[in-house]
Amino acid sequence: MIIYTALKISSCICRYPSSGDPAAVRPSEVLMLDFGTSCYLHPGFDLSLFFLTSTTPELRRSHLDSLLRRYHSTLLRVVGECSAGEEDLKDYYKFEDLMDDYR
């Protein structure tokens, strides 16, 4: 898989929907900048760097499993949508594989 290799919050630009309370709003879009260091590697590398540099230890302790599960299910869905009939990624990249790669 082609990964970013420098994924951290400072490498992203976020767009927020207009709302009355900016503190309660989630980004509606995220644009990643500078793909100059992209390479072929497992996605756990990007996730490890991102979570280590862009989240708090408290957030990781409380939500890491659910965030990684959401990432994995989204990855499977997007690859499935883009593969045009290719084999299912879920048979080749299970959640346990992502966890091994993340560690």
Assess contact for 102 and 44: CB atoms under 8 A: yes
Predicted local distance difference test score (pLDDT) of residue 24:
60
Give the tokens for residue 96: 């346990």
pLDDT at 22 over 90: no
pLDDT in tens, 50-97: 888 888 999 999 999 999 999 898 888 888 777 765 566 667 788 998
6 SS3 class: coil
Residues 16 and 52: their CA atoms lie apart, in Å, by 24
Predicted local distance difference test score (pLDDT) of residue 36:
73
Q: Domain locations in the chain?
A: 2-102
Predicted local distance difference test score (pLDDT) of residue 65:
93
Residues 6 and 37: their CA atoms lie apart, in Å, by 7
| Cα 47-90-88 angle, rounded to 5 deg | 125
70 SS3 class: helix
pLDDT in tens, 25-50: 677 777 777 777 777 877 888 888 88
Give the tokens for residue 59: 């957030």
